[in-house]
Amino acid sequence: AKEKGRNNYQFYTPTLNAKTLDRLKLESDLRSAIDAGDFELHYQPQIIGSSGQLWGLEALIRWRHRERGLISPAEFIPLAEETGLIVGLGDWVLVQAVKQLAEWRRQGHNHLVVSVNISALQFRQGDFLDRVKHILQEAQLVPDAIELELTETMLMQDVQSAIQTLKGLRELGFRIAIDDFGTGFSSLNYLRHLPINVLKIDQSFVREMLQEPESLAIVESIIALAQALGKETIAEGVETRAEFDVLQARGCRLMQGYFFARPMPPVIFDQWYQQQTQS
Ligand code: C2E
Ligand code: CA
Ligand code: CA
Ligand code: CA
């Protein structure tokens, strides 16, 4: 009777049904896309504010859907997390980013840092360290130019084991950034013990800081905190000259956002870079 009730429920709820179907379609599309390799990485420049020089690039995944064109990660990363598909996809992202970095190195970009987003589920895999170690060995690259972006929330879930994993990553040579910093609930006490390099100021604060004194105060506090702890800061979502100026004046060293460049495929990056160095 219970089974029947459940069926009836679905049957009489067309909107839920449509949603469920959409989800199932997206999930099966996602599986085929992974088999077919229908993904690409775009890269968004990160700039040293004081000199305008290129510091690094953040790798951001896109799905080139056969019918729908480019799909943003906001739409499929949550599903990839729920289904566990993110683990394989995350490996693919890291492999691609590492290859791209090696290619840029060959082209003479010797000091670039490439940042890669790591999902919570990926980070929690018992063999995460082994997997990244393996990827590095394949690439024969020193990882000091690869920065892994982790969120506060994922580090705070199980702090002791997160610290162990982070130590392992740092021993391998990776740089670590805390993404979306300020939106989670980091304990300042734990922050002291986390072997990280960078606090990445969340774009929501940058977006509001010129209108809202509270947001500006948060931005200033993050910069001060990072300085006190000997960490770098990078602000994301910098869209205007005014935002750039404020961040610069407050001592935020690195910046990323549409004001400098949008995420772009590597070929477009090459053109962009040439224009930068010419002008
Ligand atoms: P995120 O890591 O916080 O990445 C920053 C997002 O802000 C990117 O969106 C970027 O395109 C966008 N952005 C950059 N500058 C500006 C700006 O000036 N203004 C505004 N409004 N937005 C800006 P995107 O590429 O759509 O990625 C969304 C999220 O998807 C990322 O947020 C990240 O959480 C996730 N994601 C992207 N690529 C990957 C990946 O390879 N693996 C995992 N696990 N997650 C990824
Ligand atoms: Ca990120
Ligand atoms: Ca972010
Ligand atoms: Ca985000």
Residue corresponding to tokens 């895999």: 125
Give the DSSP letter of residue 210.
T
What is the reported pTM? 0.93
Whole-number Å distance, alpha carbon 201 to ligand 1 midpoint, is 13
By most ligand atoms within 8 Å of CB, the mutation choice from 34, 39, 58, 60 for ligand 1 is 60
Q: What pLDDT, on the 0 to 100 scale, is given for residue 108?
A: 92
- Predicted confidence at residue 1, as pLDDT, reads 42
- Tell me whether 0.95 is exceeded by the ipTM: yes
Among 41, 91, 117, 238, residue to substitute to test ligand 1 (most atoms within 8 Å of Cβ)? 117
Segments of the chain scoring below 50 in pLDDT: 1-5
Residue 279 has a pLDDT of 66
Residue 137 contacts residue 94 (beta carbons within 8 Å)? no
| pLDDT for position 11 | 56
**Strand residue runs (E) in the chain:** 39-48, 54-65, 69-71, 113-117, 146-151, 175-181, 198-201, 232-235, 254-255
Protein residue closest via CA to atom 15 of ligand 1: 257
